[in-house]
Structure 1
Amino acid sequence: MTTLLLMVGLPGAGKTTRARQLAKEHNALRLTPDEWMIPLFGELVEADGRRDVLEGRLLWLALEALRLGTNVVLDYGCWSRDERSAIRWLAADAGASCRLVYVPVDQETQLARIAHREATTPDQTFPISEADVLRWRTLFDEPDDAELGVREVAGPPPGWPSWREWATDRWPSFA
């Protein structure tokens, strides 16, 4: 059975470093949107919903790879439980298992890593202020032990007939 390893965490947590390690360990295709933004759009910013468009297509690609027997590391961050649940359900629907890989980070370490990244590879990142970090930390829905250990995904939020339809709304290019 193929496996989708879904990276979960905030910017500066070390997700991409861990995703690279996991890709080697699991002989997996690694899909990291940040590495596609500059070649495709000339910038990393999320203006005009371009990141959502890219994530939708990468999610589609990840599911195709899983169906073809290739393990995948999806390096999104997945801040919301609904995003994680939808992706887990889609992976299961593709006949694959899904494992959440949560990379926690304390605020001080996060700020230091972001500053280091901006100083050493400014062409591969975008400016992130301390105010951004503080706001994002309040928006992040940290997975708990129950979510990290769950095997079955609950149904979609009220008003959605399926996780596929929810995902198509969240990532319009996924359909």
Structure 2
Amino acid sequence: MPTLVLTVGLPGSGKTTLAKRIAEERRVLRLTPDEWMAPLFGHNDAGGRRDILEGRMIWTAYEVLRSGASVILDFGCWSSEERYAIRAVAEAAGAGFELRYLELGEAQRRARAELRWREEPGSTFAMSDADHDRFLALFQPPTEAELSYAPLPAPPEGFESWPHWASWRWPTLPRVDRP
């Protein structure tokens, strides 16, 4: 059964390292927005382009899953809503879903993010302490329900389905829950 693997965590937690290892072991496609942002736009987010890119990557993942192959989205996904939506996209494609949550002590995580910037600047972006503080405040760790793959909750009010919410969150993602 094709599977969508989603890596979740803050910058420097090891998501990309894990995603690369899984991609190599399983011989599957890995989609990592950070590796595309700098070559395409010169930095991490140019006028909301990351959301545009992520939407197209989710669509690509959906198509890969429908073809019968597995894929890894190395996104971070800082909110439960994003994670539920991506899980629903995998389910709409008839695929399995694996959430891989990575966390490290804060000092180690920040040091790893800085090291990656120094060693591979084309695959990430510079982050100040203020950036890290802001990211930490925005991040919602996965709940026990998410980690145990409990049934998806109802989508947020005003949305008929999680894929509908996903197409709102990532505007370049076409609706995948209807033909």
TM over 0.5: yes
In structure 1, runs of 5+ residues without a counterpart are none
Runs of 4+ in 1 over 3 A off after TM superposition: none
| TM-score normalized with structure 2 length | 0.92
Write out aligned runs for 1:66-105 (5 A). Answer: 66-105=65-104
Residue 144 of structure 1 aligns with an amino acid whose one-letter code is T
Counterparts of 2:69 and 2:167, CA distance in 1 = 23
Counterparts of 2:165 and 2:86, CA distance in 1 = 10
Secondary structure of 2:43's match? coil
TM-fit CA distance, 1:116: 1.2
More moved, 164-173 vs 49-58? 164-173
Secondary structure of 1:5's match? strand
In structure 2, runs of 5+ residues without a counterpart are 175-179
Equivalent residue pairs, number: 174
More moved, 121-130 vs 12-21? 121-130
Q: Aligned Cα RMSD in Å?
A: 1.2
Secondary structure of 1:73's match? strand
Larger helix proportion, structure 1 or 2? 1
Counterparts of 1:136 and 1:125, CA distance in 2 = 15
Residue 73 of structure 1 aligns with an amino acid whose one-letter code is I
Once the two structures are superposed, what CA deviation does each residue of 1:53-92 show, in whole Å capped at 9, x if it has no partner?
A: 0000000000000000111010000000000000101100
Counterparts of 1:52 and 1:165, CA distance in 2 = 16
Percent of paired sites with the same residue: 50
Write out aligned runs for 1:75-154 (5 A). Answer: 75-154=74-153
Distance 1:39-1:123 versus aligned 2 partners, 3 A rule: closer
